Structure 1
Amino acid sequence: MYNFSVKPLVATALLFAGLQTIQAQDYLVNSLKNNQSANSAAAFKFTDVINIENTPVKSQGSSGTCWSYSANSFLESEMIRMGKQPIEISQIYTARNAYIEKGKNYVRMHGAITLGDGGALHDVINMYRQYGALPQSLYTGLNYGTTTNKFAEMQAMGQGVLEAVVKNPNGELSPNWIKAYTSVIDSYLGEVPQNFEWKGKKYTPQTFAKEVIGINPDDYVELSSFSDHPYYSKFVLMVPDNWSLDQVYNVKLNELTDVIDNALKNGYTVGWAGDVSEKGFSWKNGVAYIPAKNVADMTPEEKEGMFLGPKDELEITPELRQKAFDNYQTQDDHGMHIVGIAKDQGGKEYYIIKNSWGASNDYKGYMYMTKNFVKYKSTAILLHKGGIPSSIAKKLDIK
């Protein structure tokens, strides 16, 4: 998942033109500015049904690290659920470790796998298991005078190193290529403290994760819903940013939102990955839905009023969802954190979503996403297995 979202041909053009992450992000921001209605907030009357405690909204800056910000926010809420004092976990420490592992895979796959900022929700769990964690205050990733993440130069430098390795000019790889690649990453993000003091006690990243954060990575699973795989089985989610080729559990379409509802009602938040490039997604207005009428067929007045109060939605079917995924209309372009449920003035339910673009919209960094949008545009969800209804967990053989 990236912090920007463009459809395939545009994305390909951007990448091959060598444009930096910040430019691609600007593309998304500008497109979302065109996807709003004046006074939208006044036209919606949202009432919280469930609002689970979570940590303050952050900004990922000019980096494609939404997956790390959203899933680490999820882990921070897990700490709260477990009765712990939440700690802002270093999102960039997680990302840094994923970059190292991604580089290894890139070389093993002769360059035929995704590289760059993007990642998946499970990357946070995997990096936590392998590398532990750091408090954000001890590893900000701001190592050369910037005040926000700005990773385009680092990614270009790292890719150059890896491409040289893949060419294998010596005919045999030296043991130093990984050191060279790691040094590029650490030159920009900072070297990792192997030992540090936190509140009067000394830790390593591994002991900090175990003793202070205290989650068990084996308790977390990813689910999705696609009709081209058997339900209640596991499959490799074929999206570019699943560079580790992790598997997800497959459930039926309505069960995807049933799982989210059950989790929230039992105090579990949910990590969300999906596509935010739809015309029914407005970051500024803080609302996401699937219009019943094709936007291309709307009158100028209908387009202008898209976010002026609740609207009818398209019925989402497994076939429609699968077709959108197969046609690249649904991509893994963003990750966010589901923290609650709200109702509009007509009683319709929406998920309360925490984003990582700062407190820069009408709802100070949060938004309201309909269940139909989640059914149509999700690529995967991440949650504690205790949040899954027992009937579905049994079908998935999750204990």
Structure 2
Amino acid sequence: MKAHFSVILFFVLSVSFLSFSYGQNTESESAYEFKIVKELPHTMAKDQGRAGTCWSFATTSFLESEIMRMGHDSVDLSEMFFVYHAYLDKAKRFVMRHGQTNFSQGGQAHDVMNVIREKGMVPEKAYSGIAYESEEHNHAEVVAMMHGMLENLDKQRQKMPLWLDALTAVMDVYFGVIPATFQWNGKDMTAKAFQDSMDVNPDDYVELTSFEFYPYYESVNLDIPDNWSFDNYYNVKLEDLIQTIDYAIEEGYTVCWDGDVSEHGFNHKKGFAVLPTEEVLEDESFLSEIAPEKEVTKDLREATFMSQQSTDDHLMHLIGTSQDKEGNPYYIIKNSWNHNSNDFQGKLHMSLPYVKAKTIAIMVHKDAVPSILRKKLNF
């Protein structure tokens, strides 16, 4: 997971056919120039800092857009409220499974929904999740302490019931105690009451993936380390996955995107992600001019996933569509590496081949799934 946070909140209304040039980049000249086709309302890119919790930042950003889509004012949600509860749930599973499960900073979009279902949600003003002296999130030390506690606890043949209190105490020192109530618009609110006031129903959201080694159009356990809760995803064909993304954006729904950003063609600084052919990669001409990209098939997806060339190393928020000057389609992606992490408000343009090859999974509102596919999936 990656790093960098800014808490100022605003949203960008849908814009059509605006363009800006990557020739303005201060590092080097670039021929990329994008025309925005559709950009949906979203909040400002925040900074996950030195915390591997992109899953919470991406899903929280996704929910902030959902709240606006449902007619509410823009709201800044607390990412660390979800992270705090997820750490506790991971710890419980780690102990119950005798250390034979994943305890790390990573996670998935459904981790946020699972917390909302049980605990609700809170605004950033109610819980920042930073009780240490820092302006940015930094989980290296607290996770090392928790992991050390859990690993040594696992060696004990018998465990006192106090261990969870001890772990919670460590988290409270670093993140702060989560308030039972907080002020919102002049009223005392609980996390569940705040959730209800924002009309967020976690059962309205589904996750889709696409791999041939799973049966198509069935609910499957996506076997990746960060799916520590063993939640299920609907497995669909690649064309269904892309069609769902396109349909969602066209109908006014954003998408929570989970995928691989380790490719050389992923360049957040320059504001684009492309999948150049091997010849283009060698001379790096794609950095300064639009270049040929790989033809992506389900076999290529399968091969790169099984070889672990493609992993779920980052979650981001897909908020719209764009085109380069040759008319090639792209998706507008909001990252969590700070509003000032590049010259493009912390966003980038991801090519269709990159999305086809490197998407591990997506989360969308159920109504953002085309009706024909919904019938196949029986929801």
TM-score normalised by L of structure 1: 0.87
- Shift, 1:37, TM fit: 10
2:2 maps to a residue whose letter is N
Question: Conserved in 2, the CA contact under 8 Å of 1:235 and 1:249?
Answer: yes
DSSP 3-state at the match of 2:125: helix
The structure 1 segments of at least 4 consecutive aligned residues displaced by more than 4 Å after TM superposition are none
- Corresponding letter in the other structure for 1:180: A
Q: How far 1:294 moved relative to its partner?
A: 5.1
Q: Confirm whether residue 394 of structure 1 aligns to residue 379 of structure 2.
A: no
1:6-35: per-residue Cα shift (whole Å, max 9, x none)? xxxxxxxxxxxxxxx9xxxxxxxxxxxxxx
Partner of 1:65: 53
Residues 280 and 292 of structure 2 are in contact (CA less than 8 Å); yes or no, is this contact kept in structure 1? no
Q: 2:290 is matched with which residue?
A: 310
Distance in 2 separating the partners of 1:240 and 1:256: 22
Residue 381 of structure 1: aligned partner: 362
- The Cα of 1:92 is off from its aligned counterpart by 0.7
- The residue that corresponds to 2:148 in the other structure is 160
The alignment status of 1:52 with 2:52, answered yes or no, reads no
Written as runs of structure 1 = structure 2, the 5 A alignment for 1:338-349 is 338-349=318-329
Is the CA contact (8 Å cut-off) linking 2:58 and 2:256 kept in structure 1?
Answer: yes
SS in 2 for 1:263: helix
SS where residue 129 of structure 1 aligns?
A: helix
Alignment partner, residue 3 of structure 1: 2
| 1:191 counterpart SS class | coil
Q: Report if the CA contact (8 A) 2:109-2:256 is conserved.
A: yes
Pairing of 1:135-214 with structure 2 (within 5 A): 135-168=123-156, 171-211=157-197, 213-214=198-199
| One-letter amino acid matched to 1:259 | T
Give the letter for the 1:273 counterpart: D
- Give the structure 2 partner of residue 246 of structure 1: 231
Q: Are residues 227 and 37 of structure 1, via their aligned partners in 2, closer, same or farther at CA, if it must alter by over 3 Å? A: farther
Q: Is the 8 A contact 1:287 1:307 kept in 2?
A: no
CA contact (8 A) 2:46 2:337 kept: yes
> 2 CA distance for matches of 1:107 and 1:376?
36
Contact preservation (8 Å) 1:279, 1:295: no
- Letter in structure 2 aligned against 1:200: G
Q: Is 2:262 aligned against 1:262?
A: no
Q: Quick one: which of 311, 328, 332 aligns to 1:352?
A: 332
Whose helix fraction is larger, Structure 1's or Structure 2's? Answer: 1
In structure 2, the partner of 1:334 is 314
Given the alignment, which residue of 115, 118, 121 partners 2:106? 118
Give 3-state SS (helix, strand or coil) of 1:210's partner: helix
Q: 1:227 aligns with which of 200, 203, 212?
A: 212
Matched, 1:39 2:28: yes
Determine if contact 2:280/2:291 at 8 Å carries over to the other structure. Answer: no
Rounded to whole Å, the distance in 2 between the matches of 1:314 and 1:157 is 44
| CA RMSD, 1 decimal | 1.6
Amino acid of the structure 2 residue aligned with 1:350: Y
Cα distance in 1, alignment partners of residues 190 and 27 from structure 2: 50
Matched residue, 1:319: 299
Given that 2:280 and 2:286 are in contact with CA atoms closer than 8 Å, whether structure 1 keeps it comes out as no
Any idea what SS the aligned residue of 1:350 has? strand
Task: Give the C-alpha shift of residue 246 in structure 1.
Answer: 0.5
Report deviation, 1:155. Answer: 0.3
Do the aligned partners of 1:352 and 1:368 also contact (CA within 8 Å) in 2?
yes
> In the alignment, which residue of structure 2 is the partner of 1:131?
119
Task: Give yes or no for contact 1:106–1:115 (8 Å, CA) kept in 2.
Answer: yes
For residue 102 of structure 1, what is the aligned residue in structure 2? 90
In structure 2, the residue matched to 1:18 is: none
In 1, Cα distance between equivalents of 2:372 and 2:279 = 37
User: Unpaired runs of 5+ in structure 2?
Assistant: 5-24
Which of 347, 354, 375 does residue 366 from structure 1 map onto? 347
Choose between structure 1 and 2 for higher RCO, CA contacts under 8 A separated by at least 6 residues.
1
Task: Measure how far apart 1:362 and its partner are.
Answer: 2.9
Amino acid at match of 1:51: E
1:218 corresponding residue in structure 2: 203
